[in-house]
Amino acid sequence: MAIRRNNSGFICSVLFALIMIISGVSSAIADIYVYVDQNGVRHFTNAPTSSKYRLYSKDIQRYRYTPIYSGNLNFNVNDPEIYDGLIEMASRTYGVSPKLLKAIIKVESNFNPKAKSRKEAKGLMQIMSQNFNDLNIDNPFDPYQNIMGGTKYFKQLLEKYDNHLDLALAAYNAGPAAVDKYNGIPPYQETIEYVRKVKSYYQSKAY
């Protein structure tokens, strides 16, 4: 099954999955591949017919419920591209730029779904355990839960700081209490460097 859209269209992996279910495709929802032709039209399929197609999103059901960090699946969990479908899903849900989300994940965990910091922040977006309940996370190493929860939290920070990106990023790294205390980016070298790195990836044309 293939799906075609132009640049103004709206298709994501969730819609693709729903179409397949409605069409009577049973049980497993296939991986989704995308190819952009010379006119900028994006073609989606679960059965690529040429090497021009690139992976757009892994099978959402398997991707969400299988502990991919255990090494059971035959794909590279540290490959940034396999999270594009989930990042776009979170982006559309919470209204945060997918490129910004990808930059945050790059700096936080370098796309390692089982990453854990010295302060016990966990997963792709390095979420602290005290935030799990509020963000509906019971497994921080599940990419779906982590990306959706982390995006929800970052959106809350953007709203708190009136969409001031630097302050929201600083709060994500050092905590909103520190940003409020200093009425700006805290004078912590780690936080200053964190804000710089995320913005650099976010603004990079190559990334």
Residue 53 and residue 137 share a domain = no
Is there a domain that residue 102 lies in?
yes
Q: Which CATH number fits the domain that encloses residue 198?
A: 1.10.530.10
Residue 47 lies in domain: 1-57
pLDDT at residue 78, rounded to an integer: 62
Is there a domain that residue 62 lies in?
no
- How many Å apart are CA 145 and CA 151, to the nearest integer? 10
Phi-psi region of 27 (alpha: psi -120 to 50; beta: other; left: phi over 0): left
Please pick, among 81, 88, 108, 190, the residue that the annotation labels catalytic: 108
The overall pTM is greater than 0.75: no
Residue 29 and residue 112 share a domain = no
Residue 84 and residue 53 share a domain = no
Q: What token pair was written down for 91?
A: 């982006």
Residue 185 and residue 106 share a domain = yes
29 band by pLDDT with thresholds 50, 70 and 90: very low
Q: Convert the pLDDT of each residue in 68-96 to its tens digit.
A: 333 334 445 567 788 888 898 899 899 99
> Does the pLDDT at position 6 exceed 60?
no
Residue 34, class by beta-carbon neighbours within 10 Å (0-12 exposed, 13-18 middle, 19+ buried)? buried
Residue 104 and residue 150 share a domain = yes
Residues 6+ apart with CB under 8 A from 74: none
What is the overall mean pLDDT for the chain?
Answer: 78
207 band by pLDDT with thresholds 50, 70 and 90: low
Which one has a higher pLDDT value, 194 or 11? 194
What are the φ/ψ torsions at residue 33 (nearest 5 degrees)? -120, 150
- Count of the separate structural domains present in the chain: 2
Asked about 108 being catalytic, the answer comes back as: yes
Residues 6+ apart with CB under 8 A from 117: 126
- H helix runs in 82-206, sequence order: 84-94, 98-109, 143-160, 165-174, 176-182, 189-203
